[in-house]
Amino acid sequence: MKRKRQQSPPATRKVPEIIEVDCEDSTPQNEKNKTKQSWVWTHFKENGKGNHAVCQVALKKSLCGSLLKKDRSGSTKNFHEHLLKVHRLVDPKLTNKIDKSQTGIARWTQTSQLVPKVVLNSDTLKTAIAYFIAEADLPFSVVERNSFKDLVRLLNEHVTPMMNHVSQKNIALQLSRIYIQSQEKLKLGILAQQKNISFTQDAWTAPNVTAFMAVTVHFIDDKYCMVDLTIAIPHVQGSHTGKNFADLFHGVLKEYDCLSKIHTITADNASTNGKMARELQLLLPSFNTDKQLLGCIAHVINLGAKAGLAVLGTLDNNNGKEISMAEMDSFESSLVMSILNLTLVPDGIGLDLKTVLKQIHGLCTYVRFSPQRRERFHAVVDFAQPNLCETGAKFTCLDIDVSTQWNSTFHMFQRAIQLRPSCEHFCRENSEVHKFKLSSSEWDQASNIMNLLQPLSEATEMLCASKYLSLNLALPVYMVLMKQLKRVQRGLYDQAQLIQPATQIIEKIEQYLRNALKKPIYITSMILDPTIKTRFWKKYEAFIIEYYNLSVDNISVTFHKMADKFKDQNNKNNQPTPTGSTSQSSAAPAMTENPNTISSEIRDAPNEPEKLDTVKAEIRQYLTEAPEKDGTDILNYWFTRRARFPTLAKMARTFLAIPATSAASERVFSKGRRIISWQRSSLNPKSVEELLCVKEWYQLPNSPL
């Protein structure tokens, strides 16, 4: 007879309780011991009646307390799903199986050999399908299509009984298990080995009006290889305030044990991100907003370019109200930012930039918005520029600009100028586009606009990479831009119409440049580039002192201070743990007390470049040597000199890993548009995060994940 179970106490404890289910009956004791209890009962406790179970997982302030009905057959499947979906807890044994499946699949795809060979079973099959779904941006429902099942059975007839258990739901659950297991590997196997990690952050609202935050990490590993990873894409709930963003970001840091590893955050220049950093500083006092929050330089250039284009004419909405720079970034202002609204007073030669911009934009729009017109234009290109392909050009049609991407205006002008003979012929031979015909002087004006926009476009493309170093180029790019723009501003190109837009670009970019000069991180990263060092500053010193009052001596002092501070922090982190005295440790000092002993003479025999004993000596020697040639592998340079310049090499690992832009986070959202669209918008936010993260982790070359 079963013994009546005592009533469970209220769920008020702060830690999960391990529950031993009392199943006393007439079954012999040795047979009872053979029954294996499911792992879920470490997190659940039966209620008084025994037909339900209460979740005992600890939350922030209380236990979960969810009441789940027990299956009559004894199955705990619904308990598994609750622990996975709500609390991100997975059966440890199943995690080990997934780990083996991942390792086996990775080895097989890289070498086509695996000993022992991957065993085809339900777990390995579901793992492979989950990777396929994530990597190919497919809906989970594809696994239930007959065509997919037929394909799998065609490849292996023995998989038929396994496919009967493959469904949309269990593949989604398998992906969640893979995500959690890979997350632990990333946390313990990769991030735990790093002392300083730089982050990028950005926010995005998907087409289904769901908001996300992307967080990426950037560091240089002990082999001096650049690493950038997406680690989290949390769902943004509630208002987009600095406090809300700070809580989300702090939660990601805490989840990956990176609270003490944060070095910098690179984000765009929206005011919300500044507020987020200040709120984060309250949660994390070691974080200094003024020094460790970096603005996205690509966004700065974007703001400057928009300001320059906007000043060519009035930027008013339908009500006559002036539009702010913040509104210019929004969708609503995209119509106002149309290229057709640009105006300018004609200069002395009787030309108007409004006419030039309007004509080129009109021609490009006319050609691009019809497949028949594109074919006709392509035929004109073959006739008017028959040697175009021989020059290596792969374009035969015009481009169109996009209101949300300023540099698309540059690319539109660039393509039109490259296809100028074809454009002139097309306008002559087609009466309906006679109105878009430009004179030779107007084509020259289009080239002048290119002179203004080209440096901005080149700088954007140069700094938006995440696979190679970028912050080391930030100050040089800023300074070269400013010098060229100031030359235009002074009218050295004899183009009066470009002076005013250049002035607006200068004013917008200069406020961010002066802010960057106050942050030693930019100067330190530049000097740690062995192809630059202080050479760039010496070359442009007269210009820089005139406008920014910062000499080579000034940046050298800043670099020395940063090196001393870095050395002190590094020494604190590497303090040896006190241990008991041993015969070895007590004998060691005696070997070095007399520098004239034979053993010391042997040990000190130079067989490699002498290691410099102080940070000042390292800096002096490093700056004395001539800069390396352009194209030098910067990370390999520091890897091969890490013994000679130990402190500077460690600084290079820390500072050169910082991204100059938040492009890495923005790329995450570009991928997100492939799985969230108007036709596919019912995925829950957690599934979106899992799909995007698992896809990136799977595609990493030689990924340990």
How large is the angle between the packed helices 77-87 and 168-185, nearest 10 degrees?
Answer: 50
> In this structure, are 452 and 497 located in the same domain?
no
Last residue of one domain, picked from the residues 464, 481, 515: 464
- Structure token pair of residue 417: 């100028």
Distances (CA, A) of 72 to 40, 52, 399: 16, 11, 66
- What one-letter code names the amino acid at 680? R
d(CA 295, CA 513): 10
d(CA 234, CA 249): 9
d(CA 665, CA 649): 27
**Is residue 232 helix, strand or coil?**
strand
> In this structure, are 521 and 535 located in the same domain?
yes
> In this structure, are 545 and 432 located in the same domain?
no
> In this structure, are 366 and 412 located in the same domain?
yes
Instruction: Give yes or no for a contact between 324 and 377, defined as CB atoms under 8 angstroms apart.
Output: no
Containing structural domain, residue 562: 470-571+609-660
Instruction: Give yes or no for a contact between 579 and 611, defined as CB atoms under 8 angstroms apart.
Output: no
**Is residue 393 helix, strand or coil?**
coil
Query: Is residue 283 a part of any domain in this protein?
Result: no
The reply to whether omega before 578 is within 30° of 0 (cis) is no
Query: Is residue 630 a part of any domain in this protein?
Result: yes
User: What is the Cα 556 distance to its own chain's centre?
Assistant: 31
Query: Is residue 582 a part of any domain in this protein?
Result: no
d(CA 522, CA 536): 14
Q: Report pLDDT for 133.
A: 94
Q: Report pLDDT for 602.
A: 36
pTM flag (> 0.85): no
Strand ranges (E), 8-145: 44-46, 52-55, 67-69
Q: Report pLDDT for 146.
A: 92
> In this structure, are 453 and 493 located in the same domain?
no
What element of type H or E holds 175? helix 168-185
Q: Kindly give the pairing relationship between strand 293-295 and strand 262-267.
A: parallel
Q: Report pLDDT for 143.
A: 93
Q: Report pLDDT for 311.
A: 67
d(CA 641, CA 627): 14
d(CA 635, CA 108): 31
> In this structure, are 301 and 365 located in the same domain?
yes
Q: Report pLDDT for 89.
A: 78
User: pLDDT, tens digit, for every residue of 628-684?
Assistant: 999 999 999 999 999 999 999 999 999 999 999 998 898 898 888 888 877 777 888
CB atoms within 10 A of CB 575: 7
Last residue of one domain, picked from the residues 401, 434, 464: 464
> In this structure, are 457 and 476 located in the same domain?
no
> In this structure, are 365 and 484 located in the same domain?
no
> In this structure, are 408 and 556 located in the same domain?
no
> In this structure, are 443 and 408 located in the same domain?
yes
Q: Report pLDDT for 336.
A: 33
Q: Kindly give the pairing relationship between strand 197-205 and strand 211-220.
A: antiparallel
Q: What DSSP string runs through 341-390?
A: G------TTS--HHHHHHHHHHHHHHHHT-HHHHHHHHHHHHHH-TTTGG
Query: Is residue 351 a part of any domain in this protein?
Result: yes
Distances (CA, A) of 162 to 106, 121, 131: 22, 7, 17
d(CA 357, CA 339): 7
Query: Is residue 176 a part of any domain in this protein?
Result: no
What element of type H or E holds 220? strand 211-220
Last residue of one domain, picked from the residues 464, 480, 511: 464
Q: Report pLDDT for 98.
A: 57
Q: What angle is formed at CA 403 by the lines to CA 401 and CA 408, rounded to 5 degrees? A: 35
Instruction: Give yes or no for a contact between 404 and 337, defined as CB atoms under 8 angstroms apart.
Output: no
DSSP 321: P
Domain total for the chain? 3
- What one-letter code names the amino acid at 145? R
User: What is the Cα 700 distance to its own chain's centre?
Assistant: 14
Query: Is residue 542 a part of any domain in this protein?
Result: yes
> In this structure, are 518 and 624 located in the same domain?
yes
- What one-letter code names the amino acid at 670? S
- Beta bridge mates, 217: 199, 229
Query: Is residue 636 a part of any domain in this protein?
Result: yes
> In this structure, are 502 and 631 located in the same domain?
yes
Mean pLDDT of each 10-residue bin along the chain, 705 residues long: 47 38 40 58 78 81 80 76 76 63 52 62 91 92 93 89 89 93 90 94 90 95 93 93 95 94 93 93 94 92 83 41 35 35 42 76 90 92 84 79 73 89 92 89 83 84 77 93 86 70 89 93 97 95 95 96 89 52 35 43 45 85 94 95 94 96 89 82 89 91 58
Query: Is residue 458 a part of any domain in this protein?
Result: yes
Q: Which residue has the tokens 């500072």?
A: 655
Distances (CA, A) of 400 to 8, 404, 409: 69, 12, 8
- CA end-to-end span of the chain, whole Å? 52
Q: Report pLDDT for 597.
A: 46
Q: Report pLDDT for 490.
A: 79
Q: Report pLDDT for 574.
A: 61
